[in-house]
Amino acid sequence: MGRRRLGTGLVVALLLGMLPGAPAPRAAAQGKGALASRTVHGKVEMINESVNAVAVISDQGQRMAWQFDKAVIAQLKGFKPGDPVVVIYRQRGSDKAVTAIGFPGAAATPVYFNTSGQRVELVSGPMAGGACGQAADTPVNRTTIPTGGRAETSDACWCCAPAGKACMPSNKTGLGQAFLIHCYE
């Protein structure tokens, strides 16, 4: 099966024409005054290095695209069209700020790669009341990940924050690889 290569014009159209009906918020915001988190589950449509973009077809059939730094795209270019993908982002006005892009099944354990350009805290903990994003009786675990570093967790829930800051673990952990892009309190 040949690899599809879409031109710059289509990627720009995808970026500009992202559907206004984004999926409903998946989890509560991670901290006081934080932006609500949204999650898209789908398949990679393409990774276009010429415009540093990743296009995704959501499980609901929506075509969505995000641009990343060249260094992030270098990490992602090994993934292929059809690979499962999860994109976690924050809605900031008309802008979407990606927290992480993950690839379920790409690793036997949950592995987090810091591609944010700064040290970050991987904060993880158990589910509470059957859900992530709820205060638990047990303390959270904190792992500082240096720029370009990686970490693993076996906890059920996670979030990432700038180094020295905190967040509520409101993302469900899954087996695979996640690339941390922008971490928020």
- Two structure tokens written together for 146: 């240096």
Q: Taking the complete model, does pTM exceed 0.85, yes or no?
A: no
Per-residue pLDDT of the chain (185 residues; tens, 9 = 90+): 343 334 434 333 333 333 333 333 333 333 444 556 789 999 999 999 999 999 999 999 999 999 999 999 999 999 999 999 999 998 777 778 899 999 999 999 999 999 999 999 999 999 988 999 888 888 899 999 999 999 999 899 999 999 999 999 999 998 999 999 999 87
- Residue range(s) defining the domain that contains residue 59: 8-180
Count how many domains the chain has. Answer: 1
DSSP state of 70: H
From CA 79, how far away is CA 178, in angstroms rounded?
A: 12
| 2 found inside a domain | no
First-to-last C-alpha distance (Å) of the chain: 43
| 3 found inside a domain | no
